[in-house]
């Protein structure tokens, strides 16, 4: 029977080997296609990284903070320029007042001089008429009335009036020029200031128009403003030149700056998009492919090729296993053939190998019949359930009835079991009471019950005490929880040591920090992003957990020990595995003993290649068990 099975199994394995070999031939160029796609992916990552560097360089010309400061400088410059214009207008008004002040100061002395020398009384012609009338009256009185005395007096009086008129007229004519000049001055003053010229108003006006100190103050402020405006303008033009590499007209400053901000915002969005695309590729900087390649990266195609490559590796492993199993089966068949030949020799049967199967079937058939007969008799004997020591050699004279015997045995067993259960229940109750009271199970029931009541009161008192203990325990628990929280923070800080960050970055090529949020979830972060551990790929999780185990082991033991890794890198990408294995050897160089178990041929080959020149590497290969 084994011989036939071996022959059939060998034939089956040979067919499977042929089928798998045929399937492997289909994937003849698969590895080359996969390598092209992988290089296309790495080349795309390289190009994205260069674009990111270009955008970073472009955006690094000026920071957002400096850009806002420049915006504020331009606004400040505009405000200062407006203030300067206002000061100029204010200065013009003050200088106009100052000119008026100088004019008023110039006329002040002339006014006083003219006013002092001017003859303000008018010469009335009445005096001349009165003089004439009085003179004529005196003349008439002297001639007609022959009253010479009165006439002479009247003529003298008339002559006196005429002399007085003449003197006043002479004085008036002498000061006419000065009076005209004073009148002209008063008219000019009234036209200019819309007020009559007098000493009181002149003094008030001079006080109001004296702005020389104010002019100096405004000029000083204007000078400071101009210096500040020139400084701001120089700084603004310098920064704008750094941004645009050309001079910008002052009128276009804000327009060009706002356009630059909008373009910068677009560049920033583009940069974030490129960084996200690069992160999705998950390509390490050291794995970039810088040469031009005519293959366009297609994630689906690469995934399909990777899946096919995995299938190819599985098929190759299957073929190796089948070939190994086929060799084992052939070896076992040869040993079995030797045994069969020995059996035939012991039976004095000499037949060729091609007739073995038929002869074996005959022998098996005969053997099976004999075994069946033996089994039937043995079964009947076993059915009686009689020990060989209890066999009776003499006939008891009663025919055996198995049904009647079975009924009697069942009835006896049923009653016996009921009695045992009752006795057991009583004994259990008594045992429980004895355990509670601390008495012996042999004591009388009444004694046990009395002590049970006493025990009840004792327990009630203990419950009250226990309630206090529980409340105290709650308070202690709260204190312990706070200590645990602090311990969690300490553990987290300990985990994120430079050793852990470097190890994690060396393994993943991207991540360098581990956090634990308030919900107890583990977060893994890089310099650009943060991810939940549960959202990462299986391979990345294994890499993170491996780095965590190494770090925790070093922290806890404060020394080197050993690691047992059961296919810890099985789910990692093919291009990531060499780095992980290099890290394992790095740990071994530091004094760690590493035991790595794997059924993955690719990982086994990587270990063998890396350890080709090492003396501390030992490889154990287990053959498949049949």
At 257-284, the pLDDT tens digits run 889 889 889 989 998 999 998 898 888 8
The architecture of the domain spanning 496-610 is 3-Layer(aba) Sandwich (3.40)
Spell out the residues 6+ positions from residue 127 whose beta carbon is closer than 8 angstroms to its own: 161, 162, 164, 165, 168
User: How many Å apart are CA 366 and CA 499, to the nearest integer?
Assistant: 75
13 in Cβ contact with 326 (< 8 Å) = yes
User: How many Å apart are CA 182 and CA 173, to the nearest integer?
Assistant: 15
Residues β-bridged to residue 525: 513, 530
Question: What is the helix (H) or strand (E) element at residue 597, kind and residue range?
Answer: strand 593-597
Q: How far is CA 187 from CA 193, 254, 457, in A?
A: 10, 55, 128
Label residue 626 by pLDDT band (50, 70, 90): very low
| Tokens representing residue 94 in the block | 């003050």
Torsion 585-586-590-594 (CA) sign: negative
Domain boundaries, the chain: 2-60+249-328, 402-476, 496-610
Reply yes or no on whether the pLDDT at 51 is more than 80. Answer: yes
Reply yes or no on whether the pLDDT at 121 is more than 50. Answer: no
Spell out the residues 6+ positions from residue 362 whose beta carbon is closer than 8 angstroms to its own: none
Q: Does the reported pTM lie above 0.75?
A: no
Q: How confident is the model at residue 588, as a pLDDT? A: 86
DSSP string, 245-291: SS---GGGHHHHHHHHHHHHHHHHHHHHHHHHHHHHHT--GGG---S
Return the axis-axis angle of helices 176-193 and 64-117, rounded to nearest 10°. 150
Q: What pLDDT digit, counting tens, does each position of 131-190 carry?
A: 677 667 767 777 777 676 776 777 777 667 677 666 665 665 555 566 666 677 778 778
Count CB neighbours of 14 within 10 A: 14
- φ, ψ at 583 (rounded to 5°): -65, -35
Spell out the residues 6+ positions from residue 192 whose beta carbon is closer than 8 angstroms to its own: 100, 103
């Amino acid at each position: 029977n084994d011989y036939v099975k071996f022959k059939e199994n060998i034939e089956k394995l040979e067919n499977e080997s042929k089928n798998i070999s045929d399937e492997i031939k289909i994937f003849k160029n698969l590895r080359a296609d996969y390598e092209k796609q992988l290089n296309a992916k790495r080349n795309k990552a390289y190009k994205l990284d260069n674009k990111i560097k270009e955008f970073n360089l472009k955006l690094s010309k000026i920071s957002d903070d400096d850009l806002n400061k420049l915006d504020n400088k331009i606004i400040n410059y505009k405000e200062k320029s407006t203030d300067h214009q206002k000061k100029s207008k204010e200065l013009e008004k003050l200088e106009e007042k100052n000119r008026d002040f100088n004019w008023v100061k110039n006329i002040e002395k002339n006014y006083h001089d003219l006013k002092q020398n001017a003859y303000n009384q008018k010469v009335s012609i009445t005096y001349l008429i009165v003089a004439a009338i009085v003179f004529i009256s005196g003349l008439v009185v002297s001639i007609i009335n022959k009253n010479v005395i009165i006439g002479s007096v009247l003529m003298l009086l008339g002559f006196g009036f005429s002399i007085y008129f003449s003197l006043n007229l002479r004085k008036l004519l002498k000061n006419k020029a000065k009076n005209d000049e004073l009148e002209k001055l008063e008219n000019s003053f009234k036209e200019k200031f819309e007020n009559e010229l007098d000493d009181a108003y002149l003094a008030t006006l001079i006080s109001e128009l004296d702005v020389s100190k104010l002019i100096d103050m405004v000029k000083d402020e204007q000078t400071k403003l101009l210096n500040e405006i020139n400084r701001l303008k120089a700084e603004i033009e310098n920064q704008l030149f750094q941004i645009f590499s050309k001079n910008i007209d002052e009128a276009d400053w804000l327009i060009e700056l706002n356009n630059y901000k909008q373009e910068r915002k677009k560049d920033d969005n583009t940069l974030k998009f490129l960084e996200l695309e690069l992160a999705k590729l998950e390509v390490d900087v050291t794995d970039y492919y810088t040469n031009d390649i005519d293959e366009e990266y297609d994630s689906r195609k690469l995934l399909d090729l990777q899946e096919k490559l995995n299938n190819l590796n599985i098929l190759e492993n299957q073929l190796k296993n089948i070939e190994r199993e086929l060799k084992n089966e052939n070896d076992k068949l040869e040993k079995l053939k030797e045994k069969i030949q020995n059996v035939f020799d012991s039976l004095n049967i000499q037949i060729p190998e091609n007739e073995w199967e038929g002869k074996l079937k005959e022998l098996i058939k005969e053997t099976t019949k004999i075994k069946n007969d033996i089994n039937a008799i043995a079964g009947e004997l076993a059915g009686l359930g009689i020990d060989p020591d209890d066999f009776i050699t003499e006939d008891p004279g009663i025919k055996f009835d198995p049904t009647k015997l079975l009924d009697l045995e069942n009835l006896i067993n049923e009653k016996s079991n009921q009695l045992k259960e009752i006795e057991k229940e009583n004994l259990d109750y008594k045992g429980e009471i004895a355990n509670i009271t601390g008495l012996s199970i042999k004591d009388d029931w009444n004694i046990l019950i009395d002590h049970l009541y006493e025990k009840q009161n004792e327990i009630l008192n203990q419950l009250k005490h226990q309630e206090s203990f529980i409340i105290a325990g709650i308070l202690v628990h709260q204190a312990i929880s706070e200590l645990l929280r602090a311990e969690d923070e300490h553990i987290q800080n300990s985990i994120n040591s430079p050793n852990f960050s470097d190890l994690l970055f060396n393994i993943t090529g991207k991540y360098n920090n581990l956090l634990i949020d308030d919900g107890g979830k583990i977060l893994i972060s890089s310099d650009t992003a943060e991810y939940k551990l549960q959202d990462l790929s299986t391979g990345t999780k294994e890499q993170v957990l491996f780095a965590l185990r190494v770090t925790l082991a070093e922290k806890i033991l404060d020394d080197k020990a050993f690691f047992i890794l059961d296919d810890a890198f099985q789910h990692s990408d093919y291009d990531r595995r060499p780095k992980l294995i290099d890290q394992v050897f790095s740990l071994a160089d530091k004094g760690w003993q590493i035991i790595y178990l794997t059924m993955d041929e690719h990982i086994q080959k990587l270990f063998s290649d890396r350890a080709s020149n090492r003396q501390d590497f030992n490889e154990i290969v287990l053959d498949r068990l049949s």
